[in-house]
Amino acid sequence: MFLEALAASVIGGILCLDRIFLQVMVSRPVVAGTLTGFILGHPQTGLVSGALVELLWIDRSPFGTVIPPNDSIASIIIAASTIISGKILGHSSRELIAVAVLLFIPLGILGKQIDILVMGANEKVSRDALDDAEAGRDEEISRKQISGLIKTFLLTFFFLLGFILIATEILLRVYPVIPPKLHLSIMYVYFFLPLLGIAVALSTVRMRGMMPVFCGLFLIMTVIFDIL
Protein backbone atom coordinates (compact mmCIF):
# COMPACT_ATOMS: atom_id res chain seq x y z
CA MET A 1 0.00 0.00 0.00
CA PHE A 2 2.77 2.44 0.94
CA LEU A 3 4.70 1.94 -2.30
CA GLU A 4 1.60 2.59 -4.39
CA ALA A 5 0.78 5.69 -2.34
CA LEU A 6 4.38 6.80 -2.80
CA ALA A 7 4.19 6.34 -6.59
CA ALA A 8 0.90 8.26 -6.78
CA SER A 9 2.36 11.06 -4.66
CA VAL A 10 5.44 11.39 -6.87
CA ILE A 11 3.44 11.59 -10.10
CA GLY A 12 0.93 13.85 -8.38
CA GLY A 13 3.62 16.20 -7.14
CA ILE A 14 5.03 16.47 -10.67
CA LEU A 15 1.60 17.03 -12.25
CA CYS A 16 0.68 19.71 -9.72
CA LEU A 17 3.75 21.74 -10.75
CA ASP A 18 1.75 22.47 -13.89
CA ARG A 19 -0.51 24.73 -11.81
CA ILE A 20 2.32 27.25 -11.35
CA PHE A 21 4.98 26.37 -13.94
CA LEU A 22 4.23 24.78 -17.32
CA GLN A 23 0.45 25.33 -17.32
CA VAL A 24 -0.22 22.92 -20.18
CA MET A 25 -3.35 21.57 -18.43
CA VAL A 26 -1.87 18.23 -17.29
CA SER A 27 -2.86 19.21 -13.76
CA ARG A 28 -6.56 19.26 -14.68
CA PRO A 29 -8.42 16.64 -12.61
CA VAL A 30 -9.53 14.56 -15.60
CA VAL A 31 -5.89 14.26 -16.73
CA ALA A 32 -4.31 13.94 -13.27
CA GLY A 33 -6.86 11.35 -12.16
CA THR A 34 -6.40 9.29 -15.33
CA LEU A 35 -2.59 9.35 -15.12
CA THR A 36 -2.75 8.39 -11.43
CA GLY A 37 -5.01 5.49 -12.33
CA PHE A 38 -2.67 4.48 -15.14
CA ILE A 39 0.31 4.41 -12.76
CA LEU A 40 -1.67 2.27 -10.31
CA GLY A 41 -3.05 -0.06 -12.98
CA HIS A 42 -6.68 1.18 -13.08
CA PRO A 43 -6.91 4.03 -15.62
CA GLN A 44 -10.72 3.83 -15.91
CA THR A 45 -11.18 4.36 -12.17
CA GLY A 46 -8.79 7.29 -12.37
CA LEU A 47 -10.64 8.71 -15.39
CA VAL A 48 -14.06 8.54 -13.72
CA SER A 49 -12.73 9.97 -10.42
CA GLY A 50 -10.92 12.81 -12.18
CA ALA A 51 -13.83 13.63 -14.49
CA LEU A 52 -16.23 13.83 -11.54
CA VAL A 53 -13.98 16.28 -9.71
CA GLU A 54 -13.42 18.22 -12.95
CA LEU A 55 -17.13 18.75 -13.50
CA LEU A 56 -18.10 19.44 -9.89
CA TRP A 57 -15.55 22.27 -9.61
CA ILE A 58 -15.37 23.41 -13.21
CA ASP A 59 -17.07 26.70 -12.29
CA ARG A 60 -14.24 27.61 -9.89
CA SER A 61 -11.62 29.56 -11.82
CA PRO A 62 -8.63 31.64 -10.65
CA PHE A 63 -9.93 35.05 -11.67
CA GLY A 64 -8.04 38.03 -10.24
CA THR A 65 -7.21 37.38 -6.60
CA VAL A 66 -9.62 34.42 -6.33
CA ILE A 67 -7.88 31.16 -5.47
CA PRO A 68 -10.08 28.15 -6.32
CA PRO A 69 -9.94 24.78 -4.53
CA ASN A 70 -7.02 22.58 -5.55
CA ASP A 71 -9.01 20.15 -7.67
CA SER A 72 -5.80 18.47 -8.88
CA ILE A 73 -4.95 17.30 -5.37
CA ALA A 74 -8.53 16.18 -4.73
CA SER A 75 -8.67 14.08 -7.91
CA ILE A 76 -5.32 12.42 -7.22
CA ILE A 77 -6.22 11.52 -3.63
CA ILE A 78 -9.66 10.22 -4.63
CA ALA A 79 -8.32 8.15 -7.53
CA ALA A 80 -5.36 6.74 -5.61
CA SER A 81 -7.24 5.89 -2.40
CA THR A 82 -10.07 4.26 -4.37
CA ILE A 83 -7.71 2.11 -6.41
CA ILE A 84 -5.44 1.11 -3.53
CA SER A 85 -8.30 0.28 -1.15
CA GLY A 86 -10.10 -1.55 -3.97
CA LYS A 87 -7.09 -3.80 -4.49
CA ILE A 88 -6.98 -4.62 -0.77
CA LEU A 89 -10.73 -5.21 -0.58
CA GLY A 90 -10.61 -7.33 -3.72
CA HIS A 91 -12.63 -5.08 -6.02
CA SER A 92 -12.97 -1.45 -7.13
CA SER A 93 -16.71 -0.87 -7.36
CA ARG A 94 -18.80 2.08 -8.47
CA GLU A 95 -19.99 2.47 -4.89
CA LEU A 96 -16.40 2.74 -3.67
CA ILE A 97 -15.75 5.57 -6.13
CA ALA A 98 -18.90 7.39 -4.99
CA VAL A 99 -17.97 7.04 -1.31
CA ALA A 100 -14.45 8.33 -2.00
CA VAL A 101 -15.76 11.37 -3.89
CA LEU A 102 -18.26 12.22 -1.15
CA LEU A 103 -15.69 11.84 1.62
CA PHE A 104 -12.60 13.39 0.10
CA ILE A 105 -13.60 16.09 -2.38
CA PRO A 106 -13.38 18.66 0.49
CA LEU A 107 -9.62 17.97 0.53
CA GLY A 108 -9.45 20.26 -2.49
CA ILE A 109 -10.39 23.12 -0.18
CA LEU A 110 -7.63 22.11 2.23
CA GLY A 111 -5.23 21.76 -0.70
CA LYS A 112 -6.05 25.38 -1.56
CA GLN A 113 -3.84 26.32 1.38
CA ILE A 114 -0.86 24.87 -0.51
CA ASP A 115 -1.56 27.25 -3.38
CA ILE A 116 -1.74 30.14 -0.94
CA LEU A 117 1.60 29.17 0.63
CA VAL A 118 3.22 28.73 -2.79
CA MET A 119 1.95 32.07 -4.05
CA GLY A 120 3.19 33.82 -0.93
CA ALA A 121 6.61 32.19 -1.23
CA ASN A 122 6.82 32.93 -4.96
CA GLU A 123 6.04 36.58 -4.37
CA LYS A 124 9.08 36.88 -2.10
CA VAL A 125 11.23 34.92 -4.57
CA SER A 126 10.11 37.25 -7.36
CA ARG A 127 11.16 40.32 -5.39
CA ASP A 128 14.53 38.75 -4.60
CA ALA A 129 14.97 37.76 -8.27
CA LEU A 130 14.38 41.36 -9.34
CA ASP A 131 17.11 42.48 -6.95
CA ASP A 132 19.42 39.80 -8.40
CA ALA A 133 18.61 40.95 -11.95
CA GLU A 134 19.47 44.55 -11.11
CA ALA A 135 22.75 43.38 -9.57
CA GLY A 136 23.54 41.13 -12.55
CA ARG A 137 23.42 37.90 -10.54
CA ASP A 138 21.95 35.67 -13.25
CA GLU A 139 22.97 32.42 -11.56
CA GLU A 140 21.08 33.41 -8.42
CA ILE A 141 17.90 33.91 -10.46
CA SER A 142 18.12 30.37 -11.89
CA ARG A 143 18.88 28.95 -8.45
CA LYS A 144 15.83 30.64 -6.95
CA GLN A 145 13.58 29.30 -9.73
CA ILE A 146 14.79 25.73 -9.25
CA SER A 147 14.57 26.06 -5.48
CA GLY A 148 10.98 27.29 -5.74
CA LEU A 149 9.98 24.34 -7.92
CA ILE A 150 11.61 21.83 -5.55
CA LYS A 151 9.88 23.36 -2.50
CA THR A 152 6.52 23.29 -4.28
CA PHE A 153 6.99 19.67 -5.33
CA LEU A 154 7.99 18.57 -1.81
CA LEU A 155 5.10 20.42 -0.19
CA THR A 156 2.60 18.83 -2.58
CA PHE A 157 4.28 15.41 -2.40
CA PHE A 158 4.10 15.13 1.39
CA PHE A 159 0.53 16.45 1.44
CA LEU A 160 -0.52 13.84 -1.12
CA LEU A 161 1.36 10.99 0.55
CA GLY A 162 -0.13 11.70 3.95
CA PHE A 163 -3.71 12.09 2.78
CA ILE A 164 -3.62 9.18 0.32
CA LEU A 165 -2.61 6.91 3.20
CA ILE A 166 -5.24 8.43 5.50
CA ALA A 167 -7.97 8.30 2.84
CA THR A 168 -7.13 4.69 1.98
CA GLU A 169 -7.30 3.69 5.64
CA ILE A 170 -10.65 5.46 6.03
CA LEU A 171 -12.10 3.64 3.01
CA LEU A 172 -10.82 0.31 4.28
CA ARG A 173 -12.56 0.88 7.61
CA VAL A 174 -15.74 2.59 6.43
CA TYR A 175 -16.70 0.82 3.21
CA PRO A 176 -16.87 -2.78 4.55
CA VAL A 177 -19.25 -1.75 7.36
CA ILE A 178 -21.74 0.06 5.11
CA PRO A 179 -25.04 -1.83 5.40
CA PRO A 180 -26.03 -3.73 2.24
CA LYS A 181 -29.28 -1.75 2.06
CA LEU A 182 -27.29 1.46 1.59
CA HIS A 183 -25.31 0.12 -1.34
CA LEU A 184 -28.21 0.74 -3.71
CA SER A 185 -28.45 4.35 -2.52
CA ILE A 186 -24.72 4.81 -3.03
CA MET A 187 -25.08 3.32 -6.51
CA TYR A 188 -27.69 5.99 -7.29
CA VAL A 189 -25.26 8.63 -6.03
CA TYR A 190 -22.64 7.29 -8.46
CA PHE A 191 -25.03 7.83 -11.38
CA PHE A 192 -26.31 11.14 -10.03
CA LEU A 193 -22.88 12.76 -9.72
CA PRO A 194 -22.29 13.02 -13.52
CA LEU A 195 -25.73 14.64 -13.90
CA LEU A 196 -24.85 17.14 -11.17
CA GLY A 197 -21.57 17.77 -12.96
CA ILE A 198 -23.44 18.43 -16.22
CA ALA A 199 -25.63 20.98 -14.40
CA VAL A 200 -22.54 22.76 -13.10
CA ALA A 201 -20.93 22.60 -16.56
CA LEU A 202 -24.01 24.17 -18.17
CA SER A 203 -23.62 27.17 -15.88
CA THR A 204 -20.15 27.78 -17.33
CA VAL A 205 -21.08 27.58 -21.03
CA ARG A 206 -20.82 31.33 -21.58
CA MET A 207 -17.50 31.49 -19.77
CA ARG A 208 -15.82 28.34 -21.10
CA GLY A 209 -17.82 27.37 -24.17
CA MET A 210 -19.18 23.89 -24.78
CA MET A 211 -16.09 21.97 -23.66
CA PRO A 212 -17.38 21.37 -20.09
CA VAL A 213 -20.62 19.96 -21.51
CA PHE A 214 -18.71 17.63 -23.83
CA CYS A 215 -16.62 16.55 -20.86
CA GLY A 216 -19.78 15.79 -18.91
CA LEU A 217 -21.33 13.84 -21.76
CA PHE A 218 -18.11 11.87 -22.14
CA LEU A 219 -18.24 10.98 -18.44
CA ILE A 220 -21.86 9.86 -18.70
CA MET A 221 -21.04 7.65 -21.68
CA THR A 222 -18.09 6.19 -19.74
CA VAL A 223 -20.42 5.35 -16.86
CA ILE A 224 -22.96 3.78 -19.25
CA PHE A 225 -20.33 1.61 -20.95
CA ASP A 226 -19.11 0.61 -17.48
CA ILE A 227 -22.56 -0.85 -16.83
CA LEU A 228 -22.78 -2.75 -20.13
Domain membership flag for residue 117: no
50-68 per-position pLDDT tens digit: 888 887 776 666 555 667 7
Domain membership flag for residue 121: no
Domain membership flag for residue 116: no
Q: Which residue has the higher pLDDT, 130 or 163?
A: 163
Percent of the chain with pLDDT over 70: 70
Strands (E) in the chain, as ranges, are none
Q: Give the residue numbers spanning the domain of 16.
A: 2-111+153-221
Rounded to an integer, the average pLDDT of 64-93 is 86
Domain membership flag for residue 129: no
What is the pLDDT, as a whole number, of residue 200?
60
Domain membership flag for residue 102: yes
What is the pLDDT, as a whole number, of residue 7?
95
User: What is the domain count for the chain?
Assistant: 1
Contact 127, 104 (CB under 8 A): no
Contact 53, 215 (CB under 8 A): no
Q: Which residue has the higher pLDDT, 177 or 184?
A: 177
Q: How confident is the model at residue 173 (pLDDT cuts 50, 70, 90)?
A: very high
Q: Which residue has the higher pLDDT, 194 or 175?
A: 175
pLDDT over threshold 60, residue 210: no
First to last CA, the chain: 31
What is the pLDDT, as a whole number, of residue 226?
56
